[in-house]
Structure 1
Amino acid sequence: MPPTEPSGRASPPTERVVRILDFLAGNPGQRFGVSELARRIGLSKPTCLGIVTSLSEAGYLVRDPSDKTYRLGPSLITLGHRAQESMRVSPAAREHLRRLSSRFGVTAALSGVIDDRITVLDLVAPPGARPGVEVGQSYPFAPPVGLMFVLWDDEAERDWLAKEPTLPLRTNTERLNRVIAACRADGYLVERLTPGGRRLYSLMAGMSTDLPDELRALLGELVSDIGERVYVRDENAGGRRRHDISVISAPVFDHYRRQVMVASLHIGKSLTDNEITERAQALVATADAVTGQLGGAKP
């Protein structure tokens, strides 16, 4: 799906630079000569040569003198770290994610709302695992996606529910209110996700909210009521019953007591009630630690 139309005028020369960087980023284990790179991206060889030469001189690409091929360079590492810092993801926060991921053998992530889209800011996955999400991946911040970002703020919740939903929804207000009260009391959100729902989230990655009516209707068949997707601890007693769990999320706050990020565990399997509680409490401790690093406080 095409993204929403950007404001301002586009710059074709800049777009060519972005195309080269995006292509190399999509093929991180390979190196390309100028001729092949120009052909794969659809540029003339002289244009491509001029761009990669400038990028190499700045350290954004590395040129192998033996075979005259190019790959991503070290200056991009610095840019990535600066981007994370600007989005308030610190090395210390990443260490908390690493410990959480190692303890439970699942992907741990931090995400935030940037330009009205939910964006993955950092994640740590177990060795050899394919997390299913990646840093920089984004989703429309509109119902049904984004409940974990508004649970702890009445005004944010109202604004979110007032947004044009990305898909047709059925909203049971009474059930949603119970879910909100339970999540605020516990300090975390546990979401169930069906196989159809997993496919939906994967499909929506990078999409704009402006979907064709026919596609909206089709995808809407995969989505249940917002509140129905949430696991509520008080409704599940006994400790041994198993539940298919997608994600457990907990809020991170700044010094204004505003939610600025969400810490998440991407579960993707069935857990008992006791296992859910154990992981949720560990996640809340991680979110609280990141809040403390930001100088933040809970509302």
Structure 2
Amino acid sequence: MPDPSTPGRSSPPTQRVVAVLDFLAKHPQERFGLSELARRLQLAKPTCLGIVTTLTESGYLVRDVADKTYRLGPSLIALGHLAQESLRVNPAARAELARLSKSFDTTAALAAVVDDRITLLELVEPPGSDVGVRVGQSYPFAPPVGLMFVLWDDDALRSWLDRAPTIPLRTETQRLDRVIAECRTAGYLVERLTPGGRRLYAMMAGMSSTLPDELRALLGELISDIGERVYLSSEAEGARQRHDVSVISAPVYDHHHRQVMVVSLQIGRALTDSEIAKHARGLVAAGDALTAQLGGSKPQW
């Protein structure tokens, strides 16, 4: 959805080009003929023809001569790699995520806050899996969403807490202080979310910073306090107790000792305390490796 706060004038012709690329990006395994593209995107057929012809000539689309269908082209590969490099995501980062994903047989991801939106920079999934998100996807960055991106940076944390929340919140300072202290000492954050909560985060992807009232109300039922659903080892009641874990995250730092990215393991199942600790050790090691790739170093708490 377009952000109404974005400065400057929009360009309808450009929006139509973006619509074609976005549509094909959402259906990467399919091919579409001109008539179907025009119909699905509600474009005049001559307009759609001009767009796909130009994109094909530039290599951003490929046209199958036999059935006259279109799909994404090779020029987007180079463009995507350059975009990742501009955000300091290099091939070595993907290799690190691949090792992490293979070690724990789950999805490993790298994300950062880009232009005030949480953006997925890289993703490695186990063979045959599909977490339902894609690289480049983004969603609003405002309390209670995004704690993992500011937890290890005092200035960023204060700025984030000052933002207008996406939902009405009950802020329990002592709980948040405990979360900050323990997660900084441990070097990782464990989020416990219900399946409904995970679906809500997926629904939020691509939305503007202003959420619909119905979605705000539904979020409010699931997440009403910052840090409320964070797992803390100090609160564990026994080694055999199992916890429904959504995500485990660790920070990546730059050479100014500032948190600039988050590396995460998508869990989506119950783990014991010892299993959480094992996953976290591997994740923190990956975060340290990614920090080293950036020439960064950890702050001293």
Range into which the TM-score falls when normalised by the shorter chain: over 0.9
Q: Shift in Å at residue 213 of structure 1?
A: 4.6
TM-score (norm 2): 0.94
Q: Secondary structure at the match of 1:168?
A: coil
Structure 1 residue ranges, 4+ long, deviating more than 6 angstroms after superposition: none
- 2:194 maps to what in 1? 194
Number of residue pairs aligned between Structure 1 and Structure 2: 299
Q: Shift in Å at residue 26 of structure 1?
A: 2.0
Q: 1:165 to 1:38 in 2, by over 3 A?
A: same
Tell me, which stretches of 5 or more residues in structure 2 are unaligned?
none
Amino acid at match of 1:170: R
Q: Shift in Å at residue 2 of structure 1?
A: 5.8
TM-score (norm 1): 0.95
Where in structure 2 are the equivalents of 1:66-105 lying within 5 Å? 66-105=66-105
Q: Secondary structure at the match of 1:219?
A: helix
Does 2:169 match 1:169?
A: yes
- 1:244 maps to what in 2? 244
Q: Shift in Å at residue 210 of structure 1?
A: 1.7
Q: Shift in Å at residue 206 of structure 1?
A: 1.8
- 1:8 maps to what in 2? 8
Map Cα deviations across residues 165-192 of structure 1 (whole Å, 9 max, x no partner): 0011111101110110000100111111
Q: Shift in Å at residue 268 of structure 1?
A: 0.5
- 2:293 maps to what in 1? 293
Amino acid at match of 2:191: E
Distance in structure 2 (CA, Å) of the matches to 1:259 and 1:43:
43
Single out whichever of 108-117 and 27-36 deviates more from structure 2: 27-36
Map Cα deviations across residues 238-273 of structure 1 (whole Å, 9 max, x no partner): 422111111100000111111110000010000000
Q: 1:199 to 1:33 in 2, by over 3 A?
A: closer
Amino acid at match of 1:29: Q
Distance in structure 1 (CA, Å) of the matches to 2:43 and 2:35:
9
Provide the identity percentage: 71
Q: Shift in Å at residue 55 of structure 1?
A: 1.1
Does 2:203 match 1:203?
A: yes
Q: Shift in Å at residue 7 of structure 1?
A: 1.5
Amino acid at match of 2:198: R
Amino acid at match of 2:135: V
In 2, are the aligned partners of 1:237 and 1:273 still within 8 Å (CA)? no
Amino acid at match of 1:87: L
Q: Shift in Å at residue 237 of structure 1?
A: 5.4
Distance in structure 1 (CA, Å) of the matches to 2:227 and 2:69:
53
Q: Secondary structure at the match of 2:228?
A: helix
Q: 1:49 to 1:163 in 2, by over 3 A?
A: same
- 1:112 maps to what in 2? 112
RMSD of aligned Cα (Å): 1.6
In 2, are the aligned partners of 1:169 and 1:225 still within 8 Å (CA)? yes
Q: Shift in Å at residue 216 of structure 1?
A: 2.5
Map Cα deviations across residues 96-140 of structure 1 (whole Å, 9 max, x no partner): 111111111111000000011111111111111121322112121
Q: 1:26 to 1:217 in 2, by over 3 A?
A: closer
Q: Secondary structure at the match of 1:263?
A: strand
In 1, are the aligned partners of 2:247 and 2:267 still within 8 Å (CA)? yes
- 1:226 maps to what in 2? 226
Q: Shift in Å at residue 144 of structure 1?
A: 0.5
Q: 1:125 to 1:212 in 2, by over 3 A?
A: closer
Distance in structure 1 (CA, Å) of the matches to 2:284 and 2:218:
36
- 2:26 maps to what in 1? 26
Amino acid at match of 2:271: L
Map Cα deviations across residues 7-57 of structure 1 (whole Å, 9 max, x no partner): 211112211211111122222222223233222222222222222121111
In 1, are the aligned partners of 2:142 and 2:163 still within 8 Å (CA)? yes
